[in-house]
């Protein structure tokens, strides 16, 4: 696959983000859940990057895939949970594998590609930020990311930590489980955020209603329990205080545990 950046604004900051994408993508290429960078061409205002081919494309805003003829393909619950586990593993790797913690900062479905085996591949490292060695947080110059997935604490304080990614992952997990956009309309009302929607269902004891109705009819009772456990985990990831959220390695372990617990 060829990745070419828009040349509308060639600023120093944007150039820095593009080269950060090259460096970190190359660094992550040995991990199975990152899109592998194969090469680049520097004969343009921005480098043009060559990545491995992702047979099944990229997730759309509802956590599904869109076919070449523009139709949306429904993903079974088991595949949605597999994608969640693999992206959790990728983020945990960023947070733990290097002396300096790397924060991804822009977790969302549109950065997740699927190869021929439906293996999830995280891509686009341009908004990532590295913390100083031994430090667990850093104050960023500005807010980068995607509205709806952004951690409100980061938005309010400019402070970035590994919990910034945890919050965004929690939102991603809700999108995958529900098959809904991060913002959507309920009946004739105003748009509602996915977190507000899921919290509302949880508070009235209707946790199972979070799960996409299109897959509910085809799942076992064990799969429903696993999905409900994942909804609860997503809500924990999105708690207001970052110290109340789990770390990504804990999230990855709990997703794996939920898989085996309800077999």
What is the set of active-site residues? 106
Asked if 62 and 179 count as a contact pair (C-beta separation under 8 A), the reply is yes
Q: What are phi and psi of 27, to 5 degrees?
A: -65, -30
**Contact by Cβ (8 Å): 126, 103:** no
**Helices 221-237 and 162-178 sit at what angle, rounded to 10 degrees?**
150
How far CA 35 is from CA of 122, 134, 172, 210, in Å, comes to 6, 28, 18, 30
CA dihedral 57, 248, 220, 193 (to 10 degrees): -70
Element (H, E) at 58: none
| Cα 231 to Cα 154, 206, 237, distances in angstroms | 23, 11, 10
Is 11 in contact with 68 (CB distance < 8 Å)? no
* Dist CA 151 CA 166 (whole Å): 9
């Amino acid at each position: 696959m060829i990745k070419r950046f828009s040349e509308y604004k060639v600023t120093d900051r944007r150039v820095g983000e593009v080269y950060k994408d090259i460096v970190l993508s190359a660094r992550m290429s040995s991990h199975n859940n990152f899109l592998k960078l194969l090469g680049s061409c520097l004969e343009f205002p921005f480098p043009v990057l060559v990545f491995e081919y992702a047979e099944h494309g990229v997730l759309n805003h509802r956590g599904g895939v869109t076919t070449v003829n523009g139709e949306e393909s429904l993903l079974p619950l088991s595949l949605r949970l597999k994608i969640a586990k693999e992206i959790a593993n990728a983020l945990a790797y960023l947070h733990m594998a290097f002396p300096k913690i790397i924060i991804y900062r822009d977790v969302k479905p549109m950065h997740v590609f699927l190869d021929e085996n439906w293996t999830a591949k995280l891509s686009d490292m341009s908004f990532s930020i590295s913390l100083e060695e031994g430090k667990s947080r850093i104050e960023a110059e500005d807010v980068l990311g995607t509205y709806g997935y952004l951690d409100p604490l980061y938005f309010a304080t400019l402070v970035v930590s590994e919990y910034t990614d945890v919050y965004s992952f929690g939102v991603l997990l809700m999108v995958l489980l529900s098959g809904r956009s991060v913002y959507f309309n309920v009946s004739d009302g105003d748009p509602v955020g996915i977190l507000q929607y899921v919290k509302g269902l949880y508070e009235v004891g209707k946790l199972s209603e979070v799960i996409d109705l299109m897959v509910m009819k085809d799942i076992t009772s064990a799969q429903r329990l696993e999905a409900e456990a994942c909804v609860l985990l997503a809500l924990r990831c999105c708690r207001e205080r970052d110290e109340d959220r789990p770390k990504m390695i804990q999230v990855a372990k709990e997703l794996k545990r939920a898989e085996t617990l309800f077999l």
